[in-house]
Amino acid sequence: MSDATPPDGAGRRLARNLALYTVARLGLVAVIAAIIIGVGAAVKVSIPLFVALLFALLIAMPLSLLLFKKLRSQVNRDIAAVDAKRRKDRDQLMSRLQGKDEQ
């Protein structure tokens, strides 16, 4: 783990970063949909909200990979930290259940 914080807070950090990433992606969809509807209104074309949201979603998916790369990689690091802690805890439990960790 390259993160300086202990893995005990990794679950909480993961939840916070995942929520931020989700809100950022949804915000990007909303902004792109607003741009699509605004451009449609500027050229006097009525674009249904559903169609604008669908196109915005399609545009935002690859765009969010580029725009939110740092946040996405932080979420990936947090997932790895939580997974490593869970794996360590499971291994400790298994060794205690098998009687290998007697003190």
Matching residue, tokens 């249904």: 48
Kindly give, in sequence order, each residue whose CB lies less than 8 Å from that of residue 65, ignoring residues fewer than 6 positions away: 72
Q: Is the pLDDT of residue 87 over 80?
A: yes
> Average pLDDT in the 32-41 region?
96
pLDDT band at 3 (very low <50, low <70, confident <90, very high): very low
